[in-house]
Amino acid sequence: MKVKTADLKANLSSYVRKVRETGEPVEILLREKAVAYLTPVSGEKKQTVQEIQGVKALERDLADIGLTCQMARPGSKPSDLVPAPVVAGDGHTDLNTVEAIRSEKDW
């Protein structure tokens, strides 16, 4: 997105909000020449609507052939993709279930 300095001065908060929401940098023009960029602090670009639709279409195509896949989204943590632990029949849910069961045994 390109913006002239006069327009940027009059509407700075709306441009800052757009940068935060979309992740797209704003090119600042002075007399039709680029002089600066307004970019998100993190440097990460959020996905566009077309990119999100493309990822969803890919996920559907994979599901149609019997593969399950959940693509990472910008800003998501790897732990967001890991399913919650399933409760076993004996009620154990911790990651060290085998060690916990063995410690309960009287060998």
| 56-94: pLDDT as tens digits | 888 888 888 877 766 666 555 555 555 665 666 666 555
C-alpha to C-alpha distance for 6 and 65, rounded to whole angstroms: 54
pTM above 0.85, yes or no: no
What b/e sequence results for 82-91 when a residue is b if at least 16 CB atoms lie within 10 Å of its CB, and e otherwise? eeeeeeeeee
Q: What is the pLDDT of residues 12-56, one digit of tens each?
A: 999 998 888 888 888 999 888 888 888 887 655 666 777 778 878
